[in-house]
Structure 1
Amino acid sequence: MDNSTPAGPASARTLDRRILALALPTFATLVSEPLLLLVDSAVVGHLGTAPLAALGLSSNVLNVLVGLSIFLAYSTTGTVARRLGAGDRLAALTGGLDGLVLAVVVGVVLALGLELALPLVVGLYGVEPEVAALATTYLRVAALGLPSVLVLLAGTGVLRGLQDARTPLVVVVAANLANVVLNVTLVYGVGLGIAGSALGTLVAQTGAAVVVVTVVVRRSRAAGATLALRPGGILSVARTGGWLVVRTALLQAAVTTNTLVAAALGAVTLAAHQVVGGLWTLLAFALDAVAIAGQALIGSALGGGDVALGRALTRRMLGWGVVSGLVFGLALVVARPAYVGLFTPDPEVQQLVSRVVLVVALQAPLAGIVYVLDGILIGAGDARYLALAGLVSLALYLPVALVVHHLGVGLAWVWASYAVFMATRATTLGLRARGTAWTRTGA
């Protein structure tokens, strides 16, 4: 990080306050979602090992589709932050409204596509007939919630671009608490089984999306933004997100490869993988709080032409990323006796989860670095490089994953091989952050 003056103690505290003002409420918002997934795993897990394995398969399918659409949050955050940093609130909120419209369109297309292709999609995993049937039941219902999920992503991106992390926190926490109540009631009280879990999540997500859209529309009207359909603006959001889609597709390819290798080891391993995957998601979302703060802060700094501030923020956020990784990784290990038994009564699954968590926790500090650098470069609008870096990382990871699959050495090695992907991302993103090509300024 070469062309800025190091921040002194006073300015470092100022930077930390700015980072934490966004990161702390964002952390609470982000961890509520994987906690919700873990609650779903606990509720469904007590129906049996096959339903838990089916939920693992279903979660991977939905995570791929939602992950590919994460550009709706990231591009709106960056666009709104840059335009706000350049002093144009009207243009910022106009761009946010265009992102919401695009989210509706993409959500409807994905929902219809998944419903039509569901037998083919589930069949790709090669699981036992019982697991496949349960996954199909879950996904039939869950697919209907994709438009709401994507609208919620875009709306949250707008609010974060405005540096409002409190509203998404309140909405998401309320929705997740409602989801817990709905899932327990529908799965056990009404007796809908795994379909009840999907239905409860669908209702909660739709309610959250309605609230966030209402907030964004009110603020847009107050700024003078019109609600007219703007094809040019929508296409602009889509173009901005194009490289982010490629970047995310490559990340999802790595995660899906991880799941496919685990699925080949049987229902018990896939059930344990679902729990470990939920814990990894919780860890990733917790670490992503600083990264998402970085998207808004870096976008605003570069939008206002302040490269030195952007670099100073980068250094501070990297420090927070490493510290957060160490703390959360340690917590994941220490708390094992308290949470492993919550997800399933199957002792074989419990023992496997307890062992594999150690492998996941060791990767946490590395993940802290990767997610912060990723957020900084997204905020800088450097999506093309992120996509190319993802391609390099996936190319190095896939041969390792194939070797692990061929050897059939167990779930711990499946997750250990994933460290190759994370280490390559850390290297490629770190090299980029040391240069100057990403520090483009202006709205």
Structure 2
Amino acid sequence: MTLKAMMTHGIVVIDALLVAGLGEAALAAMGLAGAVGGMLVGTLLAFSSATQIWIAQAYGSGRPIALKTGFYCGLAINVAAGLLGILAVLIFGGDLFTRFAHTPEIAAQAQTYLNAFLFVVLGEAVAGAISSHFNGCGETKTSFYSHLFAVPVNIIVSVGLIHGLWGLPELGVLGAAIGSAVSSLLRAGYLGMRFYAQTGGYFDVAGWMDGTLKASLKRHIRFSLPIAATFISSTFANTASTLLYAHLNVNAFAALTLILPWVNVAGTLGITWAQATGILIGQLLGRNLKGDELDAFLRRAWKTSCLTSALVSFTYLCVALGAGWIYSDLQEETKAALLSFLPILVILPFPKGSNAICGNTLRAGGETVYVMNLFIAAQWAFRIPLTAIMILYLDLSVTWVFSLLLMEELVKFPAFHIRLLRGGWKRGLT
């Protein structure tokens, strides 16, 4: 799961690495378009995460009809959400970039990148639902394998189209988006074939959990909405933060555009460990395991979470110290901003990893509304207002702005851990 998630986030990192040579303006354009594209993909990941928990408990209970219902409801929701998101971008995307881009050229490049990136949204709508099924059943290698060929395809196609190599047209920023789209659609096709080969599409399983598909879909939506709202809120908060970051000078904005994908990629080790913990908790609850057995499993998972956080911290250290070498073409002011993030990056993984264990365990136990409320409060009552104040009114440095990522985790820490220790999640889903 960790390797698969790193490759998923690596789409943006790869694009940033390949586009960096085109200059700060191209990076700024990709940063704006990536914020909107990330909002769409984040929405799909939100519903896929809910489906994953549903599938995990269905797998633990051993009922094929529950697996069939969970998968097809999750797929229908993903496709509907993806199409609605694409429609919203086509209607409002141009005005958004015109308002927040530094120059008309950056706005035009951002719009061009995003138009091609919409095909990534379509691919991830299908691939996300299928991956959730495999992950919920404990077959996490399948999703990983889909990236083994998708990532090289992304790199080869992107490099060729960005720079006009091997007889391909020179498309610049647009080439990076097309490479991502081609790899995403291929991955969705591969996962679809694997799913059908293993399950036959569940066509031999009659009926639905709640009698009809419509009734099952309504129940799935009711279960999914708090989880989806949590992830969607995070996505919108990150998008709002990026739009606020756009008010910084170009060097500071470029530094954030480069470091945030690395935060996501390296941080997936701790986050996916927590997600895997949530999946296994869901399976154990589906098998009606008791409190002591759940506590023993969770203690082991938590101890390893500390080790994963230490490894993530070390990775951040290497990235911060090596930024000047990785991005040698950048201006000195941009490199200095990247180095200033080092103390924050070293500390961030520990509270973030522990909070993730709490959040995924609580979701698996059905306490999705509490997790949703805590995330939304920390984002919209704390991080976003302070980001706006620091940038628009106090004119603080980019280092202070970046530190809010750590402050947000510290704000959530007591509420998450107190709730987990109360143990209400052990009752499972109702």
**What is the aligned partner in structure 1 of residue 59 from structure 2?**
84
1:418 paired with 2:398, answer no
How far apart are 1:170 and its partner, in Å?
Answer: 0.5
**What is the aligned partner in structure 1 of residue 82 from structure 2?**
107
What letter matches 2:234 in structure 1? Answer: L
The CA distance in 2 between the partners of 1:301 and 1:186, in whole Å, is: 48
**What is the aligned partner in structure 2 of residue 243 from structure 1?**
226
The correspondence for 2:36, drawn from 56, 61, 86, is: 61
Deviations 1:55-101 (A, max 9, x none): 11111111122212223221121111111112213321331122122
1:312 paired with 2:296, answer yes
Please give the residue correspondences for 1:139-154 in structure 2 after superposition, counting only pairs within 5 Å. 139-154=114-129
The correspondence for 1:384, drawn from 356, 369, 377, is: 369
What letter matches 1:196 in structure 2? Answer: G
- For normalisation by structure 2, the TM-score amounts to 0.91
The CA distance in 2 between the partners of 1:242 and 1:336, in whole Å, is: 37
How far apart are 1:180 and its partner, in Å?
Answer: 0.9
Q: Closer, same or farther in 2 for the Cα pair 1:329/1:301, shift >3 Å?
A: same
**What is the aligned partner in structure 1 of residue 388 from structure 2?**
402
**What is the aligned partner in structure 1 of residue 72 from structure 2?**
97
Q: How many residues are aligned here?
A: 418
**What is the aligned partner in structure 1 of residue 188 from structure 2?**
209
1:278 paired with 2:265, answer no
Answer yes or no: is the 8 Å Cα contact 1:79–1:95 preserved in 2.
Answer: yes
Answer yes or no: is the 8 Å Cα contact 1:86–1:442 preserved in 2.
Answer: no
How far apart are 1:438 and its partner, in Å?
Answer: 1.7
**What is the aligned partner in structure 2 of residue 116 from structure 1?**
91
How far apart are 1:385 and its partner, in Å?
Answer: 1.0
How far apart are 1:442 and its partner, in Å?
Answer: 6.1
The CA distance in 1 between the partners of 2:117 and 2:187, in whole Å, is: 15
- For normalisation by structure 1, the TM-score amounts to 0.88
Answer yes or no: is the 8 Å Cα contact 1:318–1:373 preserved in 2.
Answer: no
User: Which SS does the other structure have where 1:47 is aligned?
Assistant: coil
How far apart are 1:266 and its partner, in Å?
Answer: 2.0
The CA distance in 2 between the partners of 1:357 and 1:257, in whole Å, is: 24
Q: Closer, same or farther in 2 for the Cα pair 1:222/1:238, shift >3 Å?
A: closer
What letter matches 1:437 in structure 2? Answer: G
The CA distance in 1 between the partners of 2:80 and 2:243, in whole Å, is: 30
What letter matches 1:382 in structure 2? Answer: E
**What is the aligned partner in structure 1 of residue 272 from structure 2?**
289
Deviations 1:6-27 (A, max 9, x none): xxxxxxxxxxxxxxxxxxxx11
The correspondence for 2:310, drawn from 322, 326, 334, is: 326
1:220 paired with 2:199, answer yes
The CA distance in 2 between the partners of 1:320 and 1:286, in whole Å, is: 11
The CA distance in 1 between the partners of 2:376 and 2:135, in whole Å, is: 28
**What is the aligned partner in structure 2 of residue 11 from structure 1?**
none
Unaligned runs of 5+ in 2: none
How far apart are 1:33 and its partner, in Å?
Answer: 2.1
Answer yes or no: is the 8 Å Cα contact 1:49–1:268 preserved in 2.
Answer: yes
How far apart are 1:246 and its partner, in Å?
Answer: 1.7
1:375 paired with 2:360, answer yes
Deviations 1:241-271 (A, max 9, x none): 1111221233224323432332111222111
Over aligned residue pairs, what C-alpha RMSD do you find? 2.2
The CA distance in 2 between the partners of 1:47 and 1:399, in whole Å, is: 33
